[in-house]
Amino acid sequence: MKMNQKYLTTALILNAIILLFPSNFKFIPIVIFGIISLRNFKKMDFKYLVLMSVPYLIILLGVIHSNNLDRAFSQIQTGLSLFFYPLFFSMLPEKSLNEINKRKVDSAFIISIVIFSSTVFLYFFLIKGESLIFLIQHYITLIDKIIWEKYQIHSLYLALLLIISIILSFQGALKTKSKYFIFYIINIFYSLSLLAVMNKRASIILIIVTSLLFLVTLKGNLKKNGIITMFGGIILLFGLVIYLPRFDRNSFSELKKIEQSINDPKTSIGTRIVLIKATFEIFKNNPLFGVGTGDDMQILSETTTKLSNGIVVNFNSHNQYNSYLIRTGLFGLSIFLFYCFFLLKLAFRSKDIVFICLLIIFFGNMLIENILEREAGVLVFSFFISYYSRLYFKNKRNKLLLIGPLPEPTTGVSLANKVVLEKLKEINSHRIETINTSYNKFEENLGAFSLKKALFFFKLNFQAYKILKVDMVYITPGQTFFGVIKYAIFILLSKLLGKEIIIHVHGNYLGKEFSQLKGIRKTIFKWLLDKTSKGIVLSESLKGNMSPFIKDEKIFVLYNFVEDYLFVNNILDKVKKANKKIKIIFLSNLMEEKGIFDLLEALKILEQHKFNYEAKIAGNIDAKHKELTERYFRELKNVTYCGVVSGNSKKELLLWGNIFVLPTYYEMEGQPISILEAMATGNLILTTRHAGIPDIFSEGINGFFVEKRNASSIASKITQLNEDHKLINSVGEHNYNFAKNNYRVKNFMNNFIKIINE
């Protein structure tokens, strides 16, 4: 089901402004987001969910050996968004998230921080009549203790939100030239001023570090503007930090007497030193799995009381990493550090400087506070990290399972699959698995049922486990009832596992087969093909083959191609001008419906009229018609059978000739690659008005149409062409340029990747 972008954007905006909701109503935007995301439950990225839920899983791990279950379950409740945000983001299609207007989400977050942080000033200044100096001196206390209980927030977490707001504003200001520019600049200086008022040492250091990092990535005029903005902000920040009136001492004053501060448990630095010592005391006694999620505070308090002679009491670890070490030991901390490393790797690979800065901000704050153990920290961390990681998690190569025939034998379908397989590996855009469905015996009636075929395809079903390893399943099925039913296990298992199913029809018979089926066979046929996520056909006129099963917007056209090695520069000068004789080529499987006997009969007519020509025939001979085919070859003096050709032998054959003949009326024909190959090697084409051929072939421009099942029509056209070799050469040259400009492998693969990533 296609996700409504308007609803999704609204849900993300509501979660971005979650700070404006009272604590007992903060669940509302999360629930709304969940309802919208759950519509895509079947598309859940389970790997993403597990990786992004690691912090919550560590909390659960620590519950197992906790004695104080009340506190343990309280922590489980506080950390719920560490699971729910990854869960809901895991269901979002990559395309839906990329189409979100990110500026709206960022701006909503910024505005919510401005509204929330300015409320105290406005309330106490306008309503209570307090002086500005009083508000500056007591802002931290007012925001943390005095305002309505449901909106209380520790000043450290407000500082964290302000830093994020500055980084988002910095990016916004550099990326826009509209009225939003002023908005972002005003917020940068407002937020920096408020940070100075709050006087949070670590937060001030982090904003300077991340701003400098941001600046390093800028180029040209952006760098110049960034330098002006950043240094203007830093001057303002330090000026306010130094000169603003303080109720208590400046937090940076402890740094002037660092040695004294370290040894004094009453100072902020001294308290943290005691907490670090206590952490390692606890770790020595419980190194592997820690003391549990519920018992950490009690044991830490007992240890710090002992180490500080009763001065440091009832403190948390003031360090998220130490908290994990206390709660879950080396095991839990190692898992969390792996999680941090994974996020950093993802961020640097994305080259998104905002994502990188956010991680530095969060991981830096974790050095001074347990931000994943209080509601404000949990919400902002889980929302932003889930949002950004989801944007780039899919940058990892998608895994695709190709199910279909590969050479040998060589057919149009198997050749196309071979090119898809080789090129995907070459460009390294997708990890690819294969299930080769080629039946090793060539037969004209490819879609017919036989016990040998049934056994062969039954064995292939044991490879269905490969579906578990991939994101999408690409199938090139047959076009008959049995040609589709043999893929049933693959289709049904893919659907059950929520994989994207892409059906590529290389022909024009599937729709006809469906219209001719009746009863239960028709129901099964449609039921299977209805599971398709996307359909691919060879040209516009062939879309009707898939339209009974999926919506038109999910049917894509992908024209065939010519392999690069067949193109020769200046082909007319190098090869074709020397041809003063009609040289005829037939390159396809020697099947009756491909018109092979019509051509051979036409050549027989030409020989009876003493016509001077040469012909070369290449392709698999159907066992059913082997005797008849070989009799023609014996009777026709100017005809050479070349067998099955590929690579350079195929190239030499196509360059040798000047007229390519394919008088096909094959029921399952789509858009023969051999016609495109003949064009690319400078041949004039004689073919029939059949299947998707008119979509790539124009009468009188690429060659000429001949009548189906009519040897005389072929012989007559060849006789006419013998009187105008200039026409043969000019059409051949046009065909070379036409194929070169339109049917390169690069074009095919670019369009293929675009379709599967759509």
Q: Which residue has the higher pLDDT, 131 or 467?
A: 467
Point out the domain boundary residue: 344, 367, 393. Answer: 393
512 and 572 assigned to the same domain? no
Residue 749 forms part of a structural domain = no
Which residues make beta-bridge pairs with 180? none
Point out the domain boundary residue: 489, 523, 555. Answer: 555
pLDDT at 588: 93
Of 98, 81, 106, 99, residue with least CA distance to 31 = 81
660's enclosing H/E stretch is strand 659-662
Residue 750 forms part of a structural domain = no
Q: Which residue has the tokens 């047959």?
A: 478
Question: Could you report the per-residue pLDDT of 682-740, keeping only the tens digit for each?
Answer: 999 999 999 999 999 999 999 999 999 999 999 999 999 999 988 999 999 999 999 99
534: containing domain: 398-555
605 and 723 assigned to the same domain? yes
117 and 241 assigned to the same domain? yes
81 and 50 assigned to the same domain? yes
Residue 584 forms part of a structural domain = yes
Confidence of residue 261 (pLDDT cuts 50, 70, 90): low
| Single pTM value for the model | 0.58
pLDDT at 258: 57
Mean pLDDT, rounded, of the chain: 86
CATH number at residue 724: 3.40.50.2000
Would you call 217 helix, strand, or coil by DSSP? coil
In our burial notation (b when 16+ CB lie closer than 10 A, e otherwise), range 729-747 reads bebbbbbbebbeeebbbee
Question: Could you report the per-residue pLDDT of 80-104, keeping only the tens digit for each?
Answer: 999 999 999 998 876 667 667 788 8
For the chain, the domain total comes to 3
Would you call 678 helix, strand, or coil by DSSP? helix
280 and 402 assigned to the same domain? no
Q: Please give the Cα distance from 352 to 224 (Å, whole number).
A: 20
> Does the pLDDT value for residue 453 go beyond 80?
no
551 and 592 assigned to the same domain? no
Residue 748 forms part of a structural domain = no
Residue 59 forms part of a structural domain = yes
Residue 755 forms part of a structural domain = no
Which bin fits 205, alpha (ψ -120 to 50), beta or left (φ > 0)? alpha
Residue 37 forms part of a structural domain = yes
225 and 276 assigned to the same domain? yes
**Lookup: tokens for 126:** 């306008």
488 and 619 assigned to the same domain? no
What angle do helix axes 81-90 and 375-393 make, rounded to 10 degrees?
20
Q: Does residue 381 contact residue 343 with C-beta atoms inside 8 Å?
A: no
Residue 225 forms part of a structural domain = yes
555-557, strands of its sheet edge to edge: 430-436, 398-404, 472-475, 500-504, 534-537, 555-557
pLDDT at 444: 47
24 and 74 assigned to the same domain? yes
Question: Could you report the per-residue pLDDT of 312-365, keeping only the tens digit for each?
Answer: 777 888 899 999 999 999 999 999 999 999 999 999 888 888 999 999 999 999
640 and 518 assigned to the same domain? no
624 and 730 assigned to the same domain? yes
22 and 170 assigned to the same domain? yes
